[in-house]
Amino acid sequence: MENTEIKNSETQAIVDLASKIQPIEIASRYNTRRVALPPGWKLEDRDDEKLMSIPARKKGSVTMHDADSFIAYINRHKDQTFTTIYCNSDYITSSIDFNCIFNDHGGGKVDENETQNWKDLTAKYTPPFSEEWKRWNNHNKKSFTQMEMAMFIEENLNDIASAEGMPTGAELLEMAVSFEANQDMRFKSAIRLQSGGVNMNFVQDDDGQTLVKMKLFEKIAIGIPVFRSGDAYQITARLRYRVREGLLTFWYELIRSDKVLEHANKELIKKIELETAVPLFMGIA
Of 107-111, 151-155, 163-167, 247-251, the poorest mean pLDDT is in 107-111
In a domain, residue 102? The reply is yes
Of 46-50, 110-114, 158-162, the poorest mean pLDDT is in 110-114
Considering the domain architecture, whether residues 107 and 147 belong to the same structural domain is answered as no
% of the chain residues with pLDDT over 70: 76
Predicted local distance difference test score (pLDDT) of residue 8: 65
Give the number of domains in the chain.
Answer: 3
Of 25-39, 60-74, 246-260, the poorest mean pLDDT is in 25-39
What pTM was computed for the model?
A: 0.80
In a domain, residue 267? The reply is no
Say if residue 211's pLDDT is above 60.
no
CA–CA dist 161, 136 (Å, integer): 14
Q: Which residue has the higher pLDDT, 122 or 52?
A: 122
In a domain, residue 47? The reply is no
Cβ distance 153 to 216 under 8 Å? no
Considering the domain architecture, whether residues 138 and 116 belong to the same structural domain is answered as no
CA–CA dist 223, 234 (Å, integer): 4
Considering the domain architecture, whether residues 60 and 146 belong to the same structural domain is answered as no
Considering the domain architecture, whether residues 9 and 72 belong to the same structural domain is answered as no
Query: Domain of 67?
Result: 55-126+275-282
Considering the domain architecture, whether residues 241 and 146 belong to the same structural domain is answered as yes
Contacts of 71 (CB under 8 A, 6+ apart): 271, 272, 275, 276
Considering the domain architecture, whether residues 153 and 85 belong to the same structural domain is answered as no
In a domain, residue 259? The reply is no
Considering the domain architecture, whether residues 238 and 147 belong to the same structural domain is answered as yes
Cβ distance 223 to 161 under 8 Å? yes
Q: Which residue has the higher pLDDT, 10 or 207?
A: 10
Cβ distance 23 to 41 under 8 Å? yes
Measured over the CA atoms of residue 67, residue 71, residue 77 and residue 79, the dihedral's sign is positive
Considering the domain architecture, whether residues 107 and 15 belong to the same structural domain is answered as no
The full length of the chain comes to 285
Considering the domain architecture, whether residues 74 and 185 belong to the same structural domain is answered as no
In a domain, residue 262? The reply is no
Please write down the HEC assignment for all residues of the chain. CHHHHHHHHHHHHHHHHHHHCCCEEEEEECCEEEEECCCCCCCCCCCCHHHCCCCCCCCEEEEECCHHHHHHHHHHHCCCCCCEEEEEEECCCCEEEEEEECCCCCCCEECCEECCCCCCEEEEECCCECHHHHHHHHCCCCCEEHHHHHHHHHHCHHHECCCCCCCCHHHHHHHHHHHHHCCCCEEEEEEECCCCCEEEEEEECCEEEEEEEEEECCEEEEEEECECCCCEEEEEEEEEEEEECCEEEEEEEECCHHHHHHHHHHHHHHHHHHHHCCCEEECCC
Say if residue 27's pLDDT is above 90.
no
Say if residue 182's pLDDT is above 90.
no
In a domain, residue 48? The reply is no
Considering the domain architecture, whether residues 91 and 184 belong to the same structural domain is answered as no
Average pLDDT, stretch 155-181? 86
In a domain, residue 44? The reply is no
In a domain, residue 46? The reply is no
Average pLDDT in the chain: 84
Q: Which residue has the higher pLDDT, 109 or 152?
A: 152
Phi/psi of residue 4, nearest 5 degrees: -65, -40
Considering the domain architecture, whether residues 92 and 121 belong to the same structural domain is answered as yes
Cβ distance 117 to 82 under 8 Å? yes
